[in-house]
Structure 1
Amino acid sequence: MMVLISYDVSTVSAAGKTRLRKVAKECQNHAQRVQNSVFEADLDYSSFLKLKDSLLKLINPEEDSLRFYYLGNNWNKKIEHIGAEKTYDPEGVIII
């Protein structure tokens, strides 16, 4: 299932800057960055739950926010990209 993850982490303190780096790193480990604080994750449900749990443990809910948009399996009919940045194909070939 495709999930769009966005976050806003307060960086007014050193602890907030550390949280921001950790949240970004956790997202990069499991998803594709499409904008600064926005990631697309094409994961099975159990993998998504693990990622969500990890992110919830990293943020401070009093200062930060996380948003999850569940696009499901027919995500390609729900996303329209316009602009200069080339997009990626999450179901395409990945070369490591």
Structure 2
Amino acid sequence: MLILVSYDVSTETSAGRRRLRRVAKVCLNYGQRVQKSVFECQVNLAQMEMLKNELLDEINEAEDCLRLYRIIEPLEKNLMEFGKFKAVDFESTLIV
């Protein structure tokens, strides 16, 4: 399933700036950045739960905001994309 993760981490303190970097690092372990604080992650149910738990361990719920959206398939009916950056197609084979 495709999950959209969006977050707003308070960076007024050095601890907040560290949280911001750690949240982004967790998201990079599961998907790709599509905007500064938005990631697309192709995960199964177990991975989604791990992602959620790892992110909740990093954020400060009193100061930060975290949202996870499940994108319902078929994607071509639920996703419109405009502009310079185009997301990676998770369904196609990637050769590295």
Using structure 1 for the length normalisation, give the TM-score.
0.93
Alignment of structure 1 residues 1-96 onto 2, 5 Å: 1-96=1-96
Partner AA of 2:2 in structure 1:
M
Q: How far is 1:89 from its partner?
A: 0.4
Q: How far is 1:77 from its partner?
A: 2.0
The 4+ residue runs of structure 1 with deviation greater than 6 A are none
Q: Is the 8 A contact 1:3 1:72 kept in 2?
A: no
Q: How far is 1:90 from its partner?
A: 1.2
What is the root-mean-square deviation of aligned Cα atoms in Å?
1.1
Using structure 2 for the length normalisation, give the TM-score.
0.93
Q: How far is 1:4 from its partner?
A: 0.5
Partner AA of 1:30 in structure 2:
Y
Q: More deviation in 85-94 or 6-15? A: 85-94
What is the alpha-carbon distance in structure 1 between the residues aligned to residue 56 and residue 74 of structure 2?
A: 26
The one-character-per-residue Cα deviations of 1:40-81 (angstroms, maximum 9, x if unpaired) are: 111100111001100001000000010111113423321110
What is the alpha-carbon distance in structure 1 between the residues aligned to residue 47 and residue 29 of structure 2?
A: 12
In structure 1, stretches of 5+ residues that fail to align are none
Partner AA of 1:71 in structure 2:
I
What is the alpha-carbon distance in structure 2 between the residues aligned to residue 75 and residue 31 of structure 1?
A: 16
What is the alpha-carbon distance in structure 2 between the residues aligned to residue 86 and residue 53 of structure 1?
A: 28
In structure 2, stretches of 5+ residues that fail to align are none
Partner AA of 1:37 in structure 2:
S
Identity among equivalent positions (%) equals: 45
Partner AA of 2:19 in structure 1:
R
Q: More deviation in 10-19 or 82-91? A: 82-91
